[in-house]
Amino acid sequence: MWTWFYKLASPPYVYGVAATLVPWFLGGAALALGYGLIAGLAIAPPDYQQGEAFRMIYVHVPSAILSLTVYTVMAAASAVALIWRIKVGHAVAAAAAPIGASFTILALVTGSLWGRPMWGTYWAWDPRLTSELILLFLYVGVMSLRSAFEDPSRGDRAAALLATVGVVNVPIVHFSVVWWNSLHQGATIVKLGAPSMPGSMLWPLLSMWLGFMLFFAAVLCIRLQGEVLNRERQSTWVREAVKA
């Protein structure tokens, strides 16, 4: 039953699976993002308090959720790689890092653009914004540490340890609006109980979230192929794979 799990530790298997999955993930992402954008921009009614500005939620919230999800994926892959010495874990972590960093920047920028009309400021030293900024620094730290070592395997393991240590920041970002008095709005979707948003506004948001997730999966698979190749360059299966 667990054979599929063991297969995932094998670089050639992962390379093949990633290649097959990319078009499916991209197609799904296109559909979800397409519906989400059209419904979010044109069909959902304007908000009672925020007017048309609320529509920025359709890119801000998915990118913010993804920035945390991708870090968790990176930390989990790193932990697996460190504990069970599964090299594919390092490849996944290395592939996820730049994607996560870009989503964090996106969350910060879209949040800033949304903050200006709503709160009157592009930035505030508020717990959620600050911890999200720390998340960006952690991503950059992990990527810098990996590339600082001449021995790539040592760089992988050092970056993996840092990624695992830094994962404490993820719950801090999520719960910051609960633990402290924050300017930022509280949780509306990822919480216990029903979401506090009407359906016409909620469905496009969920669709955008799904679209971003599928997009992340697609880009991760593409990068993962490259990372696996770079780490396994000397093996025979790679020679066969690139001759094709």
Partner 1 sequence: MSVGALSAFNLLVRRELCLSFRRPDQLLQPLVFFLIVTTLFPLGLSLQLSLLRDMAPGVLWVAALLSSLLSLDGLFKSDADDGTLEQLALCGQGLTLIVVAKTFAHWLVSGAALVLVSPVVGTALGIPTGAFPTMMLSLGLGTLTLSWLGAIGAGLTVGLKRGNVLLSLIVLPLAMPLLIFGAGATDRAISGTNAAGALYFLAALCVFTCTLAPFAATTALRITLE
Partner 2 sequence: MMSGSFWAMGGYARYVWPCFGFSCVVLVWNLWSARRFRVAAQLRARRAAEMATVDES
Residue 90 touches partner 1, criterion: CB under 8 A: no
Query: Of partner 1, partner 2, none, which one sits near residue 234, judging by CB under 5 to 8 A according to partner kind?
Result: partner 2
Residue 93 touches partner 1, criterion: CB under 8 A: no
Among residues 7, 27, 52, 188, which is the contact residue for partner 2, using CB under 8 A? 52
Amino acid at 208: M
Residue 163 touches partner 1, criterion: CB under 8 A: no
Among residues 13, 35, 123, 149, which is the contact residue for partner 1, using CB under 8 A? 149
Tokens of 10: 């094998």
- Say if residues 200 and 41 touch (Cβ distance below 8 Å): no
Query: Of partner 1, partner 2, none, which one sits near residue 223, judging by CB under 5 to 8 A according to partner kind?
Result: partner 2
Binding segment (CB under 8 A) for partner 1, from list 40-48, 62-70, 94-102, 154-162: 154-162
For residue 31, the cross-strand partners are none
Residue 154 touches partner 1, criterion: CB under 8 A: yes
Give the DSSP letter string of 100-115. Answer: HHHHHHHHHHHHHHHH
Residue 124 touches partner 1, criterion: CB under 8 A: no
Query: Of partner 2, partner 1, none, which one sits near residue 98, judging by CB under 5 to 8 A according to partner kind?
Result: partner 2
Give the contacts of 199 (CB within 8 A, at least 6 positions apart): none
CB atoms under 10 Å from CB of 233, counted, come to 10
Nearest alpha carbon to residue 168 among 68, 55, 243: 68
Residue 4 CB, nearest approach to partner 1 (Å): 30
- How far is Cα 68 from Cα 62, in angstroms, rounded to an integer? 10
Binding segment (CB under 8 A) for partner 1, from list 36-44, 89-97, 139-147, 230-238: 139-147
Query: Of partner 1, partner 2, none, which one sits near residue 31, judging by CB under 5 to 8 A according to partner kind?
Result: none
**The dihedral sign for the CA sequence 21, 25, 26, 27:** positive
Nearest alpha carbon to residue 215 among 54, 69, 16: 69
Which residues contact partner 1 by CB under 8 A?
82, 130, 134, 137-138, 140-141, 144-145, 148-149, 154, 157-158, 161-162, 164-166, 169, 172
